[in-house]
Chains A and B, each alone.
Chain A
Amino acid sequence: MTRLLSPAGSRVLFLGNEAIARGALEAGVSVATGYPGTPSSEVIESLATVARGRNLYVEWSVNEKVALEVAAAASFAGLRSMAVMKQNGVNVASDFLLHLTASGTRGGLVLVSCEDPGALSSVNEGESRYFAGMLEMPLLEPADFQEAKDMTKWAFELSEAIGNVVMLRSVTRMSHASGNVICGKFPAKTRKAVFRCDGPIMDSQTGPMISTPVVAKHLLRQQKLKTVQALFEKSPFNCYTGPARPDLLLVTASACSLYAAEAVEMLGLQKRVGILKIGTTWPLPPRLVSGHLRKAGKILIVEEVMAFLEENVKVLAAGDPKLSKGKTFFGKYDGTLPFAGELNPDIVADALAKIFKIRRDALSPSYLEEARKTAAMLPPREQTFCAGCPHRASFWSIHNAIALDSREGFVCGDIGCYSMAALTPANGYWTMPTLHSMGSGTGLAGGFAKLAPFGFKKPVLTVCGDSTFYHAVIPALINAQHNRADVTFIVLDNQGTAMTGFQPHPGIEVNALKESVPAVDIAAVCRAIGAKVTVCDPFDLAATGAVLTDFLAEKGLLKVLILRQACALSPEKKGKKTFEMKVDEELCLGDACGCNRLCTRIFRCPALVWDRKKKKAAIDEVVCAGCGVCASICPQKAIVKTPVASAFASGG
């Protein structure tokens, strides 16, 4: 029995993303789609685990745009549907979204964007809140776990009430935090899919689903917002806590409202600060917000990254001279809070302390000094490729091939675990100097390859993961082939969407629902494009190195190397060692060897450590995944691998 299906009335600990999933189930969602991306993945993942036997279709789509299109089709057929993605996924989906908000929707359609202020698991801290304003669709932001569930459920109703998409935005500290949720009921009836398209063009419920006539439909979309604002005025997701006449009104939304409440409590300011927590962030309900703004002379707006809420509150206040007169606004524009990074209770408390000119209680100076001194001696724990990670072996070969080629070749990076080759350059042996969005490595490589007439002589390589390949690489690859770009394109195929937790992708013969589906073969796609294709096991350093040096020497064409080896954390591999690894202490010469600790100083496997007492290399058996690659790099052949007869796994 899964917690997600707990009976109505039960109090359950849900991850924020599970709360969103539960809310969707309580709303009677029929179709849920998404593309994996931290911190969003668990919404679709948890829905997939309960889909069987319910009237629910769950899909890991090839990318966010397709995910939204698949969900929209269900909405057009009158079903409730949702598309789930991380913040930059909304950018991917945005072209369709622009047209979708113009055509309107039928069955409740919710776009869930889980965002990552501070980029804890991203290479951007993109904002999708502005899409709500730009595309004129309602935006909801839950501030706790119960709300995450309740608000999701209501988002479907709202979408149906106005015939347009509703965006629900969460953040890492909501999606990946857990809290208590009291479950509600599941709907009794399921809907039937019906798509009518015989009505008048201006009737989105019966007519063609189309964004034209553009101006008329645009005006229609704006009219819907009046309905939205009226509903938002009465929404229970907006609430005020604090005195009737506070010295300062703190306006906030999302997880920030938890930080704000904690900060007020930490400073003992409960009698002086009122908190207006907004759940319906766009369009702001004007009467509600104005009413609260009147209460205080000082207004502090607390939100993460951009000043979206602050701007909207200020626009609202500016519209009423009586309201804005004599008010001081604190937020990002005056420098009270930063425009970048995530917030926490301490940052908000510091901001409040500054405004109120009070001192925060601190720990004793001697304790703080002790903590400071201790912190200074702690070696950082930087991210690395896991023990047994195929990427380490791949980059080893890539590095060596580039070095042998001697033309200062480089790798255009892409998004996945292998991004770590760029984030900590030593992990990728200093080969990967660019990193942007999914698929952009291949596009960039194709561009670099066309710079030869301008005196550019470096050979260009690029990498992408298997899931990334399907998501956004194929157009760039076709572009490279069609334009005769001399690119060595490497697919780091670790047999799943490893970074986000092994969600299936089109290359896997199983879908989100664990049904058997046809796999789309990467090699076949590349061959069909017309590229020269080789498939190799990255753990075979010699073979991989030979292919890569040949590819670099072969000029003027697109070359594809697929390095196939499952991720060390994949369910089929985790806890199972292929080899038992050992350092032969007789053969390892330690610092007397001319190798200058190649294995620990350069290779960087967390399981291959330097024994400080013996002054020799050693294997940390607890960390070692038994991939055997390190045996190939020791010039003394001192790292010995013994095949493990029968692999077994047991969990803790």
Chain B
Amino acid sequence: MRKKRSSQSRLKKDVLEQSLCTGCGACVGLCPYQMVYKDRTVQLFDCDLPDGRCRAFCPRTPSDLPLLRESLFDALDATDEIGPVKEFWIARAKDAGLRARSQHGGTVTALLRLAMSEGWIDAAIVSGRLSEREPEGRLIDDAGALADYARSRFWAAPTVAAFHRAPEGEGRRIGVVATPCQALALAKIRTAKIDGYDKGKTLSLVIGLFCGWTLALEPFQNLLETYQLSAANLTGMDIPAGKNILELHTAEGPVNVPMAEVDACVREACRYCVDSTAEFADLSVGAARYGRNSGEMQNWNQVIVRSETGKKLVSLARSRGILEFRETPQEALHELKNAAAEKKKKALARIIAKSRSPQNLLYLNPGDTVVKKYLKT
């Protein structure tokens, strides 16, 4: 009998060497062989085990996406562009203090706080502070501390690894704030059927983040150096709509970097990503930006409610007055869908350019109807 190829070597060949690794951390923290260092996934030693969870959970190994959608969401909610949509809202945290400390409307932090104070989750995993040396996922079990992690950073943190490392306890429930790739990994974890593995059950809430791309740390650090900055100087960063710049917040005030310079630092894996709204989360949150003049939307979030859990949480937030809502113009959803469809098309074109065959979509299945739709033939 031929020996099965090890999961690690397949990950190396099919994901790492194909520059598909998003640094999400799904393969890290399960074993001593993989680590994330400076946003890179590193294989420390060879492991010859087949059927590893590292490969099973990776969002860039082939997966049965239709089955995932079917087992997590209501088929009636499905959309091709942005995954399942149960509800769509423009919302923000009512707490102005929280909003001030947050990236946009503070919705994510407000919802996490609520879930934790209601006992829906015991702890939340969020990406570490901007100032921290190594990007890392943090397990927070103090609702009061959540606001410290409310600002976005634009490079990947191995958040899923923090979930793997989270201690297991009787009835323990965990919520995770996830980028689209991380949300996909978590969906694979939630639905995994692996003997002796049931940690997926502790995953009670996944709040997805809209994501266009992340930055590769090293080229971005080199770019910062040209502005006499280092990651440690940053207090925040943002992409104001329509200006075509990346705004870096520092103690000495903002520094604007032209998008063309930033573009060169985008993580290659992100160019092959077809998901901009975290389609496999319970609910997804992003900056509200639509229309020509989006200035007045600056401090609002768009919220896609996808699952029953997501729906319950948002309606509780509404009834408790944790979130405030405003009217949701039809064109907002429309614009979001168009943008998401564009990303899918571009990513698929790049995948084909890489694989040199429309029959080989690397981690995606050409038979998936959603994929098919955006595949340029």
Which A residues fall within an 8 A CB radius of B? 399-400, 403-406, 429, 549, 592, 594-596, 598, 602, 633, 635
Stretch at the interface among B41-49, B202-210, B283-291: B41-49
Q: A429 touching B32 by the CB < 8 A rule?
A: no
Besides the known contacts A405-B37, A596-B49, 12 further A-B residue pairs in the complex with CB atoms under 8 A apart: A400-B44, A403-B44, A404-B42, A406-B37, A406-B42, A429-B45, A594-B53, A595-B31, A596-B31, A596-B48, A598-B32, A635-B31
Q: B32 touching A635 by the CB < 8 A rule?
A: yes
0 or 1 for each of B47-79: is its CB under 8 Å from A? (1 = yes): 111001100000000000000000000000000
By a CB distance below 8 angstroms, the chain A residues around B53 are 594
Q: B42 touching A403 by the CB < 8 A rule?
A: yes
CA distance A403 to B33 in the complex (A): 11
By a CB distance below 8 angstroms, the chain A residues around B52 are 594
| B35, CB-defined interface residue at 8 Å | yes
Give the distance to chain B from A589, nearest Cβ to Cβ, in Å.
Answer: 10
CA distance A80 to B336 in the complex (A): 95
Contact of B31 among A399, A404, A549, A594 (CB under 8 A): A594
CA distance A406 to B33 in the complex (A): 14
CA distance A602 to B45 in the complex (A): 8
- Can you list 5 residue pairs at the A/B interface with Cβ under 8 Å? A403-B44, A404-B44, A406-B40, A594-B31, A602-B45
By a CB distance below 8 angstroms, the chain A residues around B45 are 429, 598, 602
Q: Which of A403, A596, A598, A635 has the most CB of B within 10 A?
A: A596
By a CB distance below 8 angstroms, the chain B residues around A400 are 44
By a CB distance below 8 angstroms, the chain B residues around A594 are 30-31, 49, 52-53
By a CB distance below 8 angstroms, the chain B residues around A405 are 37
By a CB distance below 8 angstroms, the chain B residues around A595 are 31-32
Which B residues fall within an 8 A CB radius of A? 30-33, 35, 37-38, 40, 42-45, 47-49, 52-53, 196
By a CB distance below 8 angstroms, the chain A residues around B30 are 594
Closest 4 CB pairs of A and B: A404-B37, A594-B31, A635-B32, A596-B47
By a CB distance below 8 angstroms, the chain A residues around B35 are 404
Give the distance to chain A from B321, nearest Cβ to Cβ, in Å.
Answer: 45
CA distance A549 to B33 in the complex (A): 17
By a CB distance below 8 angstroms, the chain A residues around B33 are 596, 598
CA distance A595 to B33 in the complex (A): 8
Give the distance to chain A from B200, nearest Cβ to Cβ, in Å.
Answer: 16
By a CB distance below 8 angstroms, the chain B residues around A633 are 32
By a CB distance below 8 angstroms, the chain A residues around B44 are 399-400, 403-404
Give the distance to chain A from B192, nearest Cβ to Cβ, in Å.
Answer: 14
Give the distance to chain B from A325, nearest Cβ to Cβ, in Å.
Answer: 66
CA distance A399 to B44 in the complex (A): 8
By a CB distance below 8 angstroms, the chain A residues around B43 are 403
CA distance A283 to B42 in the complex (A): 62
CA distance A561 to B258 in the complex (A): 41
With contact pairs A406-B42, A596-B48, A598-B45 given, residues A549 and B32 touching in the complex (Cβ less than 8 Å): no
By a CB distance below 8 angstroms, the chain A residues around B37 are 404-406, 549
Give the distance to chain A from B189, nearest Cβ to Cβ, in Å.
Answer: 14
By a CB distance below 8 angstroms, the chain B residues around A596 are 31, 33, 47-49
Give the distance to chain A from B191, nearest Cβ to Cβ, in Å.
Answer: 20
CB closest residue in chain A, given B8: A596
CA distance A81 to B40 in the complex (A): 61
Give the distance to chain B from A542, nearest Cβ to Cβ, in Å.
Answer: 13
Give the distance to chain A from B92, nearest Cβ to Cβ, in Å.
Answer: 40
By a CB distance below 8 angstroms, the chain B residues around A403 are 42-44
CB closest residue in chain A, given B31: A594
By a CB distance below 8 angstroms, the chain A residues around B49 are 594, 596
Contact of A592 among B40, B47, B196 (CB under 8 A): B196
CA distance A549 to B35 in the complex (A): 14
Give the distance to chain A from B251, nearest Cβ to Cβ, in Å.
Answer: 24
CA distance A406 to B217 in the complex (A): 14
By a CB distance below 8 angstroms, the chain A residues around B38 are 404
Q: Which of B32, B33, B40 has the most CB of A within 10 A?
A: B32
By a CB distance below 8 angstroms, the chain B residues around A406 are 37, 40, 42
Give the distance to chain B from A588, nearest Cβ to Cβ, in Å.
Answer: 14
Give the distance to chain A from B155, nearest Cβ to Cβ, in Å.
Answer: 16
By a CB distance below 8 angstroms, the chain B residues around A404 are 35, 37-38, 42, 44
CA distance A150 to B298 in the complex (A): 98
CA distance A399 to B35 in the complex (A): 13
CB closest residue in chain B, given A400: B44
Give the distance to chain B from A346, nearest Cβ to Cβ, in Å.
Answer: 41
Give the distance to chain A from B324, nearest Cβ to Cβ, in Å.
Answer: 45
CA distance A594 to B31 in the complex (A): 5
By a CB distance below 8 angstroms, the chain A residues around B47 are 596
By a CB distance below 8 angstroms, the chain B residues around A598 are 32-33, 45
Give the distance to chain B from A383, nearest Cβ to Cβ, in Å.
Answer: 21
CB closest residue in chain B, given A553: B38
CA distance A429 to B45 in the complex (A): 9
CA distance A345 to B120 in the complex (A): 82
By a CB distance below 8 angstroms, the chain B residues around A635 are 31-32
CB closest residue in chain A, given B49: A596
CA distance A602 to B49 in the complex (A): 14
CA distance A594 to B53 in the complex (A): 9
Give the distance to chain B from A26, nearest Cβ to Cβ, in Å.
Answer: 57
CA distance A509 to B52 in the complex (A): 53
Give the distance to chain B from A601, nearest Cβ to Cβ, in Å.
Answer: 9
By a CB distance below 8 angstroms, the chain A residues around B196 are 592
CB closest residue in chain B, given A429: B45
Q: Which of A399, A429, A598 has the most CB of B within 10 A?
A: A598
CB closest residue in chain A, given B37: A404
Give the distance to chain A from B104, nearest Cβ to Cβ, in Å.
Answer: 33
Give the distance to chain B from A637, nearest Cβ to Cβ, in Å.
Answer: 12
By a CB distance below 8 angstroms, the chain B residues around A602 are 45
CA distance A404 to B33 in the complex (A): 11
